[in-house]
Amino acid sequence: MNYIERKEDYLKEHIIPQTANEDFAEFWQYHVENLKRIPVKYERRLLKTPYDKTITTYEISFNTHDDTVVYAYFSKPANIEGKLPCVVWYHGGGGKRRIYPNIVACGVCCFAMDVRSQHGKTFDLAQYKMGTDYVIGSMVTHDILYKDSYYLKNIYLDAVRALDVVALLPEVDSDKIVTFGESQGGALSIAASALNDKSVKCYASVPSYGCLWDRVEKASGVFKAINILLNRNPELTDRVFDTLTYFDVNNLVSLLKVPVHYTLGLSDPTCLPEFVYSFYHHTNSEKELTIAPFTGHTASEDYLNKVYTEFSEMAEK
């Protein structure tokens, strides 16, 4: 038995149970149906970028479930005509949209949205109920007591709406839309593919926002803010943990119906291998896992080579 086989045997013995309430699927069906009732509206404008010789890029703004306007970059190969597959990319926590030449070089389009109120152009116009006394160092505390208005609900639905916009773009083959992201982006990729049937495959690199009770207890990453909140207000623990069950990726993966390709880093200190392996274990659709030894909170070269090869093959079909 080699090193990776030994590590996988360990992970198989440390599966983290799901925490979904009985109304979990009903909760998401309700909010997705409400989103569908809102007609998609988007605007686009051509941008001048350093990549213009090989990549054509537009800025796109689109509506979502509230008054927020979400901004994105849509890039396509400049020298290829006709409808092309599209990779919908979601950035990591605290990041922003970018142009991704490495994705477009595979012969596909790339749609990269700004997550609201992080470091991009998308400002959060949601009407939150909780006052600033409960907002501690991170957006993940916004309305943590109210599942129907919680911050993660908002960014998950923005990710879902992104697929609706992409399917309408004239350059895109709507039968070849996939989702992809890393860390927070991996979670949004899972949420979008689980909640919108326009995706045909999900790619999730070291996905975050899962096994959330454990992450709060460990004060891990952005969830340290919730740890601090509960340290100051322990009487809120059960209410907070109940809210988190609806947005926990370890629960959301059960709604996936399309193939998914995960990767985990065995040295990841943020999204622990046990977390990502649990997502993989609880996924009922076709699935693949790339285990990267001695790799932290990032995609391994092996995983990216597999993914980009699949993008290129999708473009050739």
Q: pTM for this structure? A: 0.97
CB 107 within 8 A of CB 315: yes
Interhelix angle 237-245/224-232, nearest 10 degrees: 150
- List phi, psi (to 5°) of 292: -110, 110
Q: Model confidence over 141-187: pLDDT tens digits?
A: 999 999 999 999 999 999 999 999 999 999 999 999 999 999 999 99
Residue entry with tokens 């207890």: 217
Q: Do strands 69-77 and 55-63 pair parallel, antiparallel, or not at all (unpaired)?
A: antiparallel
pLDDT tens track for 3-52: 999 999 999 999 999 999 999 999 999 999 999 999 999 999 999 999 99
For the chain, list the domains and their CATH numbers: 3-316 (3.40.50.1820)
Beta strands 201-205 and 172-182, pairing class: parallel
